[in-house]
């Protein structure tokens, strides 16, 4: 514990705890939520729009469902959203960046100019366009955001590879007759891992935020599945008189996004990690 605090600092440790808490809550939602059925979407019309109370800690929504339970169930959607967006982006961006940086020349030009096309659009606009074209839904919204996200990984991977490619030990492998795929697998990929994982950890927060924005616009998961962004949107009609409907999920988004970003910063600047290669 002491070691962890030393490595990440207090803000980073707290952020890590918050992130782990949400992961735990997401995993065990049916056991943690006070009203699991309502969390999953069952209406409860007897208690429509009830303010926060001992029975409903964070109040209820327009169908009388417990907001705390809805938020807990929404954690599953939001976290998988964030993680899957980053994973999909890595899946496309990493190979593109590796190939561009390693082979250089016209391959580099072709791949990176293609990447630039995606970067030329404002990210959220492109995501909205993609989501509108694909139609709402869980997987579609992830694909829509990942399309705007992967170019950053491609650029980052390319920059890392450009440095590595000139390293004498990579050159030595080439001169020893090692094939390109093997050099990439043995020398390039392991060394790009660290900066890319840090970037990925940093990005889960913003990715989840973008996904929430899409579902706020009605382009994310479909009701009755609980989703934070969608809850904020649904609560707008009752704002400010029934403030808790929008505010509670909104606050949750804020906390999670903040935790991921603080954790990302802490990871980037962490102390006492593995020793880096000299020079």
Q: Does 76 bind other proteins (CB under 8 A)?
A: no
Binding to other proteins (CB under 8 A): which residues in 256-275? 275
CB of 278 to other proteins, least distance (A): 6
CB of 190 to other proteins, least distance (A): 6
Tell me which of 51, 125, 186, 222 binds other proteins, using CB under 8 A. 186
Q: How far apart are CA 43 and CA 40, in angstroms?
A: 9
CB of 99 to other proteins, least distance (A): 17
Could you tell me how far CA 244 lies from the centroid of its own chain? 25
Q: Does 120 bind other proteins (CB under 8 A)?
A: no
Tell me which of 32, 47, 87, 173 binds other proteins, using CB under 8 A. 173
Instruction: Taking each helix axis as running N to C, give the angle between helix 67-103 and helix 228-236, from 0 to 180 degrees, rounded to the nearest 10.
Output: 130
40: buried, middle or exposed (CB in 10 Å: 19+, 13-18, 0-12)?
middle
Please count the residues of this chain forming the interface with other proteins, following the rule CB under 8 A: 21
Q: Does 182 bind other proteins (CB under 8 A)?
A: yes
CB 249 within 8 A of CB 74: yes
Those residues with Cβ within 8 angstroms of residue 98's Cβ, 6 or more apart along the chain or in another chain = 157, 158, 161, 184, 188, 189, 192
CB of 105 to other proteins, least distance (A): 12
Using the structure block, give the residue that is written with the tokens 């979407």: 41
CB of 65 to other proteins, least distance (A): 52
Chain contacts with other proteins (rule: CB under 8 A): 167-169, 171-173, 175-179, 182, 186-187, 190-191, 275-279
């Amino acid at each position: 514990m002491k070691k962890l605090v030393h490595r990440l600092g207090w803000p980073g440790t707290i952020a890590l705890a918050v992130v782990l808490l949400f992961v735990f809550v997401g995993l065990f939602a049916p056991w943690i939520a006070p009203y699991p059925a309502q969390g999953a979407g069952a209406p409860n019309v007897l208690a429509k729009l009830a303010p926060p109370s001992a029975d409903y800690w964070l109040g209820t929504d327009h169908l009388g469902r417990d907001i705390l339970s809805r938020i807990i169930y929404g954690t599953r959607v939001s976290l998988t959203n964030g993680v899957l967006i980053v994973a999909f982006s890595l899946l496309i961006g990493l190979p593109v960046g590796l190939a561009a940086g390693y082979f250089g020349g016209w391959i580099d030009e072709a791949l990176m100019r293609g990447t630039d096309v995606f970067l030329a659009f404002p990210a959220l606009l492109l995501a909205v366009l993609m989501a509108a074209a694909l139609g709402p839904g869980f997987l579609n919204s992830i694909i829509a955001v990942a399309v705007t996200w992967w170019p950053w990984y491609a650029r980052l991977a390319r920059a890392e590879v450009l440095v590595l490619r000139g390293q004498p030990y990579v050159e030595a492998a080439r001169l020893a007759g090692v094939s390109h795929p093997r050099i990439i697998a043995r020398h390039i990929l392991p060394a790009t891992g660290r900066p890319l994982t840090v970037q990925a950890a940093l990005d889960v927060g913003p990715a989840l935020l973008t996904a929430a924005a899409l579902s706020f616009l009605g382009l994310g998961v479909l009701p009755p599945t609980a989703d934070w962004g969608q809850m904020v949107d649904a609560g707008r009609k009752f704002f400010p008189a029934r403030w808790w409907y929008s505010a509670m999920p909104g606050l949750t988004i804020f906390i999670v996004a903040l935790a991921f970003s603080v954790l990302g910063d802490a990871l980037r600047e962490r102390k006492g990690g593995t020793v880096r290669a000299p020079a």
